[in-house]
Amino acid sequence: MVHATPAPLTQLSEEESLFSSTVRRFAEESIAPLVRSMDEEQQFAAGLIDQLFSLGLMGIEVPESLGGAGGSFFDAVLAIEALSTVDPAVAVLVDVHNTLCVNAIRRWGTPAQKERWLPMLASETVGAYALSEAGSGSDAFALQTRAEAIDRRFCLNGRKLWISNAREAGLFVVFATLDPAAGYRGITAFLVETGARGFTVGRKEDKLGIRASSTCELIFDHCEIPEENLLGERGKGYKVAIETLNAGRIGIGAQMLGLAQGAWTHAARYARERRQFGKPIAEFQAVRFTLAQMATDIEAARLMVYNAARLKDSGQPYVREAAMAKLFASQVAERTASLAVEIFGGNGFVRDYPAEKYYRDAKIGKIYEGTSNMQLATIAKQVLAGR
C-alpha cells in the first residue's frame, strides 16, 4: 500500500501563504521605518491604526456579512506572527483586539451585540480586555471590581490595571463581580464604551518593552452601563475569561514566535556582514552553530503554535497545547533575542541597532496572559489527568 506523504504542519496553503507574506510586506515597508520613534515616543504613529483597519487586520474572524474578513483563528495567528517579526508592540494591539475582545463577543455576544459591535470592531473601533487588577493577576478571580444591578442598568465601581490597548480602545470587555459571596461564580462580563459616564482611562505605564503599545489603569466610579451591555450570562464571566484567555495564549505564542524570527533574521544578516579576523563572523563555527540552534528552536516553537491554532479551528481540545505553545515560544523568544544581542556584540547593546529592542520586548511573553508558572500548572493538570 502506498501512503501519501503528509504535509508538514508548518506548510501553509497558497491562500495562507499569500496572506502571511502580504502582512509581512506591510510590516517591513510601513511599520519598520517607524519602530524606533514609536518605541521612544511610547505611542503608535499617526494613521498606523487606520492602516491596520484598512488592511482588514482588525476584523480577521469577523464574518464578511458583518464587515470583517471572514477568516480563521489561524489567519489571526499568521498576522500576529508576521507583524511581530518587525514590531511586537504593533502585534499586541492586533492580538488583543482579535483574540480577546472580538472573540469574546463572537463567542458570548447576543445577536444584537454582534450586529452592533462587530462591524465597528472590524472597521474603526479598537477593542481591549480588562480582567487584571492590582491584587488580581495570576489569581484572576480575586478581582475586587464590583457591579450592582439597578433597574435596567448596571453600576460598576473599581479599578483595573495593566490593560493593553487602553489608550486606543473604544470598547472594553470588563469583568466585575455581581455577588462577592458567590466567589468566582459571581463574576460577570460587561461591554463598556470609552466615554461612558464614570469611566476613566488612567495612567499609562512606562514599560521595559513593547513601549508603543499602551498599558493603562482603568477607573470605574459609579460607571453606569445599560442592561444590554451584559456579555454572556450573569455569574458566568469566569467562563468568558477562561475560554477567551485559552485562545489568547496561542496569540501570545505567535507574537513570541514572530519576535524570535525577527531577531534571528537581523542576527543572521549582521553575521554575514560583520567581519573580524579577515572574514564574516558567520563563517566562524561558534556563530554558525549558535544561529543553527536558534533556528531549530524557532521551528519547534512554530510547530507548537501552529498546531494549537489548527486544533482550535478544528474544534478539538487545545488547552494543553495552547499553554505549551505560549510557555515554549516565550522561552525561545527570550533566548533567541539574548543571543541576537551577543551576535551583534557591542552594537547589540545600543539603540542604533534592532537587537536590544527585541530583547526588551521578549520579556513580557513570560508574564502577560498567564505567567510561565501558570502555564506549567495548566500543563501539569492536563498531562497528569491523561489529557
- Catalytic residue set: 369
Contact predicate 274/280, CB 8 Å: yes
Q: Locate cell 523568544: which residue? A: 333
- Is the backbone of residue 30 left (phi > 0), alpha (psi -120 to 50) or beta? alpha
Q: Locate cell 502585534: which residue? A: 91
Torsion sign, CA atoms 186, 190, 195, 200:
positive
Helices 237-273 and 88-95 cross at an angle (nearest 10°) of 160
Cβ-defined contacts of 144-147 (< 8 Å, 24+)? 144/177, 145/174, 145/175, 145/176, 145/177, 145/220, 146/176, 146/177, 146/178, 146/180, 147/176, 147/177, 147/178, 147/188, 147/190
d(CA 346, CA 368): 30
- Is the backbone of residue 158 left (phi > 0), alpha (psi -120 to 50) or beta? left
C-alpha cell read off for 258: 514572530
d(CA 164, CA 173): 12
| Burial per residue of 56-93, b for 16 or more beta-carbon CB atoms within 10 angstroms, e otherwise | bbbbbbbbeebbbbebbbbbbbbbbbbbbbbbbbbbbb
Please, what is the end-to-end C-alpha distance for the chain in angstroms? 33
CA angle at residue 56 from 189 to 132, to 5 degrees? 25
d(CA 387, CA 368): 25
